[in-house]
Amino acid sequence: MRVAVLFSGGKDSCFACYRAMNKEEVVCLITVISKNPESYMFHTPNIQLAGIQADAIGLPLITSETEGEKEIELEDLKRAIEAAKDAYEIDGVVTGAIQSVYQATRIQRICEEANLSCLNPLWQIDPTEYMKEFVLFGFKAIISGVFAYPLDDSWLGRIIDEDAIKELMKLSEKFRISVVGEGGELETFVFDGPVFKKKVEIMEASKTYKNYSGTYTIEKARLVEK
């Protein structure tokens, strides 16, 4: 099956892409760039770098902009998916949805209307096991946004490794936050991994943080050989 991957550049879309590549023919990536940082549907921190990540992976990228208004933003996603269908003759769309029924059902509906299959390779995956596999399989990502207590600014720009996962597990047990950030607690940016032919090198970045909400903004990046 020829498929497109809904791509944010974060850990879930990259890992979903990896799983899809093991079973399907991934022919392109789709990124929706939201002007609303509190979009219900779309990842926003460093989304402007999806293009360089797509180049690192070696796949064409279809982008669509949206104002990020709830429900209305789905029309912008629909146009992007239809553009992928026209340009690359896809049979299905891959998402990185894990537990969000809100996202999964809406994407499923768009796919049904476009006569496409909707594949969710991470759906209901065990969060802790998933995070361990993410690191074990060679993915490298930083935390690009934190949006919940008790995640402070020390998490911004931190690489997700075994120690970080252990700390997130402890915080999850104590404060009931999601280890994978499924409740919007954190966002990530992947700079290397098994689907990457080149590595994204972060050259310049800055932090903004206030009241347990902050972002790590990558201002300059480049591709380097692995």
Q: Answer left, alpha or beta for residue 71, where phi above 0 means left and psi between -120 and 50 means alpha.
A: left
Residue 43: the pLDDT is 66
- DSSP 8-class letter at 155: G
Residue 73 confidence (pLDDT): 85
What pLDDT score was predicted for residue 167?
A: 97
Confidence at 184, pLDDT banded by 50, 70, 90: confident
pLDDT tens per residue, range 35-63:
877 666 676 899 999 999 999 999 999 99
Summarised one tens digit per residue, pLDDT across range 60-101 is 999 998 887 777 888 999 999 999 999 999 999 999 999 888
Left if phi > 0, otherwise alpha if psi is -120 to 50, otherwise beta: which for 184? left
What is the Cα–Cα distance from 161 to 105, expressed in whole angstroms? 31
Full set of structural domains in the chain with CATH: 2-119 (3.40.50.620), 139-224 (3.90.1490.10)
Cβ–Cβ under 8 Å, residues 192 and 137: no
On average, the pLDDT of the chain sits at 94
pLDDT one-digit tens code per residue, 100-158: 888 889 999 999 999 999 999 999 999 999 999 999 999 999 999 999 999 999 999 99
In this prediction the pTM is 0.95
- For residue 223, give the 3-state DSSP assignment: strand
Q: In what order do the strands lie in the sheet with 2-6?
A: 61-66, 25-34, 2-6, 92-94, 117-119
How far is residue 149's CA from residue 128's CA, in Å, rounded to a whole number? 20
